[in-house]
Amino acid sequence: MDTSTARRNILARIRAAQGREGEPADAEREAAADYLARHPDGPRPPMPDDLVAHFVEQAGKMSTTVDLVDAMRDVPAAAQRYLVGLGLPVRAIAWQTLQDLAWADAGLEVEFRKPVDADKVGITGCFCATAETGTPVLLSGPQTYASAGLLPETHVAIVPASRIVAGHEDAFALIRAERGELPRAVNFVSGPSRTADIEQTLVLGAHGPYRVHAIVVRGV
């Protein structure tokens, strides 16, 4: 049973205990949509016109490194430069949605599968990204497995410039508009995993990757 099915089953049991049908009727859905439409977002900070530049700035504050390229065809070479520059492996796993890029021509050995413990580099795309916090937003799916950005020590995220929105509210609105129901996992990646639980000393890589690198693609 996947998470979405389990969630529906739990909500169906709650509705049954309230004496309602397991699935909401059209009238209930319309009432919920009307409620959301009549209750606008709360106060939000002003945002500049250039969301790409703001994303780059805010990502840097979260210890995410950023490279900008002109087109998707430039992504493999940019990823190779980043990995070689840090002395990292040029072997990686990646989302299946990225199979058409010329990874081998750029000197990278990429397998399109879920990661295992030995995999050090994971390459993903993103559904969108938020400029307010410099955060790529990843939606899980059969070809876009969440583990690719969580298990490897290094996460390389491809961010189309056209998919950079102002804030989290805009990201969720885009998910609702394009996907409807939320997937099993929605991951907001605001820099490397970190904790300061022990003696208030910041440690990176506590619950996920040690480093996050965003490749922003201007042409898409």
Hey, what domains does the chain have and what are their CATH numbers?
1-40 (no CATH), 48-217 (3.40.50.10420)
Instruction: Report the half-sphere exposure of 86 (CA within 13 A, side-chain side).
Output: 17
pLDDT at 37: 80
Give the integer Cα–Cα distance in Å for 45 and 133. Answer: 11
Position 110 scores a pLDDT of: 98
169-188 average pLDDT score: 91
The C-alpha atoms of residue 116 and residue 22 are separated, in whole angstroms, by 38
Supply φ then ψ for residue 15, to 5 degrees.
-65, -40
H-type helices in the chain, by residue range? 3-17, 26-38, 51-61, 75-85, 168-179
Q: How far apart are the first and last CA of the chain?
A: 36
Q: Is 69 strand, coil or helix?
A: strand
d(CA 167, CA 133): 8
Distance CA 176, CA 220 (A): 21
Residue 101 has φ and ψ, to the nearest 5°, of -80, 150
Eight-class DSSP state of 46: -
pLDDT category at 54 given cuts 50, 70, 90 is very high
What pTM was computed for the model?
Answer: 0.83
| CB 173, CB 127: distance < 8 Å | no
Is residue 121 a contact partner of residue 109, using CB atoms and an 8 Å limit?
no
How high is the pLDDT of residue 184? Answer: 85
- Decide: helix, strand or coil at residue 215: strand
77-131 confidence digits (pLDDT tens): 999 999 999 999 999 999 999 999 999 999 999 999 999 999 999 999 999 999 9
202 vs 91, residue with greater confidence = 91
Can you name the residues that pair with 138 across neighbouring β-strands? 187
Task: Name, of 3-12, 21-30, 109-118, the range with top average pLDDT.
Answer: 109-118
pLDDT recorded at residue 202: 46
